[in-house]
Amino acid sequence: MIELEGLTKKFGSFYAVRDLSLKVSPGEILGFLGPNGAGKTTTIRMMAGLMKPTSGRILLDGKDVFGRPDEAKAILGYIPDRPYLYEKLTGGEFLEFIAGLHQLGKEDGWEKRSQGLLEYFDLLPWRRELIESYSHGMRQRLIIIAALLHRPKVLIVDEPVVGLDPQGVRLVKSLFRDLVDDGMTIFLSTHILGIAEELCPRIGIIHEGQLLALGSMSDLREQAQSRDERLEPIFLKLTQEEEPRTESFGVP
Amino acid sequence: MEGWPALLFPKIRSFSHHLGEQSIRARLKLTFLVVLALGFWLFTFLVFQKVLVYFHSVELFGDLLNYRLLSMMLLTFFSILLFSNLISSLSTFFLSEDLNLILSRPVPLDDIYYARLTETLVYSSWMVLLFALPVFLAYGWVYGAPWKYYAVFVGGLGPFLLIPSALGVLLAMFLVNIFPARRTKDILFLLTIFLLIGIYFLFRFLQPERLVNPDSFASLVEYMTALNAPSWPFSPSFWFAESMIPFLQPAPVQAWFYLACLWSTAGALVVMGSWVSRALFISGWTKSQEARRVYLVRLPLFNRLLQGLSRFLRPFPRALVLKDWKTFFRDTSQWSQLILLMALVVVYLYNFSVLPLDRTPMPSFFLQNLVSFLNLGLAGFVLSAVAGRFIFPAVSQEGFSFWIIRSSPVPLRTFLWSKFWTGLVPLLLLAEALIFLSNWLLKATPFLMILSAVTIFFMTFGIVGLAVGLGAIYPRFRLENAARMAWGFGGAIFMILSMIFIGVLVALEAWPVYILFMAGFQQSSLSVFQWIGVCGAFSGIAGLIGTATLLPMKVGLRNLQEMDF
Task: Tell if the CB–CB gap between B319 and A99 is shorter than 8 Å.
Answer: yes
Specify the 3-state DSSP secondary structure of A79.
strand
pLDDT bucket at B556, cuts 50 / 70 / 90:
very high
Q: Is the pLDDT of residue B165 over 50?
A: yes
The one-character DSSP state at A49 is: T
Rounded distance, CA B14 to CA B33, Å?
18
Task: Tell if the CB–CB gap between B399 and A129 is shorter than 8 Å.
Answer: no
Of A45, A70, A86, the CB nearest to B409: A70
Looking at residues B346-370, what average pLDDT do you find? Answer: 67
pLDDT of res. A226: 78
Q: Is the pLDDT of residue B428 over 90?
A: yes
Rounded distance, CA A142 to CA A91, Å?
7
Pairing status of strand A185-189 against strand A2-11: unpaired
Residues of chain B found within 8 Å of residue A86, distances taken between Cβ atoms: 323, 327, 401, 404
Distances (CA, A) of A21 to A173, A213, A215, B34: 27, 11, 13, 50
pLDDT bucket at A105, cuts 50 / 70 / 90:
confident
Q: How far is CA B240 from the centre of its chain?
A: 27
Find the range with the poorest average confidence among A22-36, B20-34, B261-275: B20-34
Show which residues on chain A lie within 8 Å of chain B, measured between beta carbons: 45, 48-52, 69-71, 73-74, 76, 78, 80, 82, 84-90, 93, 96-103, 105, 128-130, 132-133, 146
pLDDT of res. B420: 95
Q: Is the pLDDT of residue B251 over 80?
A: no
Q: Is the pLDDT of residue B358 over 70?
A: no
Task: Tell if the CB–CB gap between A133 and B316 is shorter than 8 Å.
Answer: no
Q: Is the pLDDT of residue A185 over 50?
A: yes
Question: At A185, which amino acid appears?
Answer: T
* Interface A-B: count of C-beta contacts within 8 A: 94
Rounded distance, CA B516 to CA B510, Å?
10
> Using only C-alpha atoms, what is the Rg of chain B?
27
Task: Give the Cα-Cα-Cα angle B329, B335, B337 (nearest 5 degrees).
Answer: 130
pLDDT bucket at B125, cuts 50 / 70 / 90:
confident
- Residue pLDDT, tens place only, B453-501: 999 999 999 999 999 999 999 888 876 666 566 667 788 889 888 988 9
Rounded distance, CA A117 to CA A171, Å?
11
Looking at residues B502-529, what average pLDDT do you find? Answer: 84
Task: Tell if the CB–CB gap between B295 and A89 is shorter than 8 Å.
Answer: no
Interface test with B, best of A8, A42, A86 (most B CBs within 10 A): A86
Rounded distance, CA B393 to CA B413, Å?
17
Rounded distance, CA A23 to CA A42, Å?
17
Nearest CA in chain B to A127: B296
Task: Tell if the CB–CB gap between A76 and B330 is shorter than 8 Å.
Answer: no
Of A76, A78, A86, the CB nearest to B327: A86
Rounded distance, CA B486 to CA B390, Å?
9
Residues of chain B found within 8 Å of residue A132, distances taken between Cβ atoms: 294
Task: Tell if the CB–CB gap between A98 and B408 is shorter than 8 Å.
Answer: yes
Tell which residue, B181, B196, B182, has the closest CA to residue B77: B196
pLDDT of res. A222: 83
pLDDT bucket at B97, cuts 50 / 70 / 90:
confident
pLDDT bucket at B297, cuts 50 / 70 / 90:
very low
Ranked by mean pLDDT, the top range of B49-58, B182-191, B226-235 is B49-58
Q: How far is CA A247 from the centre of its chain?
A: 34
Of A78, A100, A133, the CB nearest to B293: A133
Helix (H) or strand (E) holding A245: none
Interface test with B, best of A8, A47, A50 (most B CBs within 10 A): A50
Looking at residues B388-417, what average pLDDT do you find? Answer: 90
Question: At A236, which amino acid appears?
Answer: L
Looking at residues A100-113, what average pLDDT do you find? Answer: 86
- Residue pLDDT, tens place only, B197-246: 666 666 665 555 555 455 555 555 555 554 444 456 777 888 888 787 77
Reported in sequence order, the residue ranges of A38-137 that DSSP labels E, i.e. its strands, are 55-60, 63-64, 76-79
Query: In this predicted model, which residue has the larger pLDDT, B449 or B245?
Result: B449
- Residue pLDDT, tens place only, A60-73: 999 999 888 888 99
Nearest CA in chain A to B563: A51
Helix (H) or strand (E) holding A173: helix A166-181
Of B316, B327, B407, the CB nearest to A50: B407
Q: Is the pLDDT of residue B397 over 80?
A: yes
Task: Tell if the CB–CB gap between B326 and A88 is shorter than 8 Å.
Answer: yes
Query: In this predicted model, which residue has the larger pLDDT, A93 or B315?
Result: A93
* Min Cα–Cα distance to chain B from A51, Å: 4
% of residues, chain A, pLDDT over 90: 40
Residues paired with residue A33 on neighbouring β-strands, in sequence order = A205
Helix (H) or strand (E) holding B400: none
- Residue pLDDT, tens place only, A7-19: 999 888 889 999 9
Task: Tell if the CB–CB gap between B565 and A45 is shorter than 8 Å.
Answer: yes
3-state secondary structure string across B155-221: HHHHHHHHHHHHHHHHHHHHHHHHCCHHHHHHHHHHHHHHHHHHHHHHHHHCCHHHHHCHHHHHHHH
Interface test with B, best of A10, A97, A126 (most B CBs within 10 A): A97
Residues of chain B found within 8 Å of residue A82, distances taken between Cβ atoms: 400
Q: Is the pLDDT of residue B269 over 50?
A: yes
Task: Tell if the CB–CB gap between B326 and A50 is shorter than 8 Å.
Answer: no
| Straight-line distance from the first to the last Cα atom of chain A, in angstroms, rounded to the nearest whole number | 55
pLDDT of res. A157: 92
Pairing status of strand A29-33 against strand A202-207: parallel
Distances (CA, A) of A129 to A89, A98, A167, B298, B518: 8, 17, 22, 10, 63
pLDDT of res. B206: 55
Residues 6+ apart with CB under 8 A from A133: B292, B293, B294, B295
Nearest CA in chain B to A130: B296
pLDDT of res. B293: 45
Rounded distance, CA B243 to CA B359, Å?
43
Pairing status of strand A2-11 against strand A14-24: antiparallel
Helix (H) or strand (E) holding B306: helix B300-309
Task: For this complex, say whether ipTM is above 0.90.
Answer: no
Rounded distance, CA B52 to CA B67, Å?
10
pLDDT of res. B546: 95
Does residue A183 come out as left (phi exceeding 0), alpha (psi in the -120 to 50 range) or beta? left
Whole-number average pLDDT of chain B: 81
Rounded distance, CA A96 to CA B89, Å?
38
Per-residue buried b or exposed e for A200-223, using 16+ beta carbons within 10 Å of the residue's own CB: bebbbbbbebebbbbeebeebbeb
Residues 6+ apart with CB under 8 A from B38: none
Q: Is the pLDDT of residue A167 over 80?
A: yes
Residues of chain B found within 8 Å of residue A106, distances taken between Cβ atoms: none
Half-sphere exposure of B471 (CA within 13 A, CB side): 32
The one-character DSSP state at A90 is: B
The one-character DSSP state at A130 is: B
Rounded distance, CA B192 to CA B333, Å?
12
pTM score, whole prediction = 0.71
Ranked by mean pLDDT, the top range of A208-222, B164-178, B451-465, B500-514 is B451-465
Task: Tell if the CB–CB gap between B320 and A100 is shorter than 8 Å.
Answer: yes
Rounded distance, CA B540 to CA B500, Å?
15
The one-character DSSP state at B363 is: -
